[in-house]
Amino acid sequence: MESTAYHPLFQVTQDEMENVRQSYNLDVKKINENLDILEEWFKKQDHLIEALPYIRRGSIENTKSVIDKVLTIRGMLSEIFTYNIKTIFDEFDTFLDNMIVTSLPKINPKDCTRVFLIGLRNADFEDINMVDIAKIFCFIISTRMQYDYVFSQHLIFDFNHVKASIITKLNPMVLRKIEVIFLDSYTTRVKGLHFINAPPFIHKVVAIFNLVLKEKIAKRIHIHDTYDDLYQHISKEILPKEYGGDEMSCEDLSKLMKDFIKSDAGRRTIEDSSKIVANESRRSSIKFNEEYMGMPGSFKKLNVD
């Protein structure tokens, strides 16, 4: 495992890969040994249909736990991870014509993190559905697991074109599920949530995020008055042209994502999201809601005034 497969939206240099390996005290030999151990472990886990060779912090046991959580959450939240193959490509195409949901190709050199960008491209687009956003975001996460080499990130939320009616569409239940998928299952680390082009009603949006997110994550919300303020956290050079950066435009980023979704690799990722899951009837240990943070119960308790 000398290198990862190439993806234009998840670019990693050889030096960046070496830095990540060193930070976890890993080398190629150790990674391959871990993969061999995991392959043997998979064969003994009846409740796992398949799994990703995901190395987490150099720990075999942590890796087993992450794989189990990822595949379990896929089955648990099937409304997000199950796609209608007959319609999903057109749905994603329409969605990406009107919204930008993508990773930025280059790693943020300030702290060796991946940066994600979410925003509206069409001011007249109001058919915003949180489940649809969750679906495409989970597709991106699943793609990332195959190509990326860093799993800490910043998320940029661009509120340009966003109307106050968005508040009624910020379903706390779905937001909470996204947090569980992103942080608790895939165990990625969020370094910052960055709100740019903030409208007058931004405090209401922040209130909803504060209600849903864990306290330590909510404290990492930044509202930036200028792009120069954003540059303190995200290097200008990796941002799209629309944000004063040196990288490709949002339109080009969306085209890359649309092209990948329609590719053979994209189709496999979509199909695997619903097929590669845990079979809970075969699990020999305790029940899911006791093992995974009591998650189902926590959804029921979530209320918004």
Residue closest to 117 by CA, chosen among 132, 128, 133: 133
Distances (CA, A) of 138 to 34, 77, 109, 194, 197: 26, 11, 25, 20, 25
Check residues 295 and 84 and name the one with the higher pLDDT.
84
The pTM of this model reads: 0.75
Element (H, E) at 288: helix 288-291
CB contact at 8 A, 247 and 240 = yes
Orientation angle between helical segments 250-262 and 88-98, nearest 10 degrees: 180
Distances (CA, A) of 143 to 61, 68, 90, 224, 273: 23, 18, 19, 29, 10
Determine the average pLDDT of the residues in 151-168: 91
Q: Which pLDDT value is given to residue 22?
A: 79
Quick check: is 55 in a domain?
yes
At 191-247, the pLDDT tens digits run 999 999 999 999 999 999 998 898 999 999 999 999 999 999 999 999 999 999 999
CB contact at 8 A, 143 and 269 = yes
Quick check: is 293 in a domain?
no
Determine the average pLDDT of the residues in 250-271: 89
Q: Which pLDDT value is given to residue 60?
A: 63
Total domains, the chain = 1
Quick check: is 43 in a domain?
yes
Quick check: is 181 in a domain?
yes
At 36-90, the pLDDT tens digits run 665 665 555 444 433 344 444 556 666 667 777 777 777 777 788 778 878 888 8
Domain membership of residue 98 as a residue range: 1-278
Distance of CA 249 to the CA centre of its chain: 21
CB contact at 8 A, 74 and 278 = yes
* Rounded Cα gap, residues 276 and 283, in angstroms: 15
* Rounded Cα gap, residues 10 and 270, in angstroms: 18
CATH of the domain at 144: 3.40.525.10
Check residues 7 and 62 and name the one with the higher pLDDT.
7
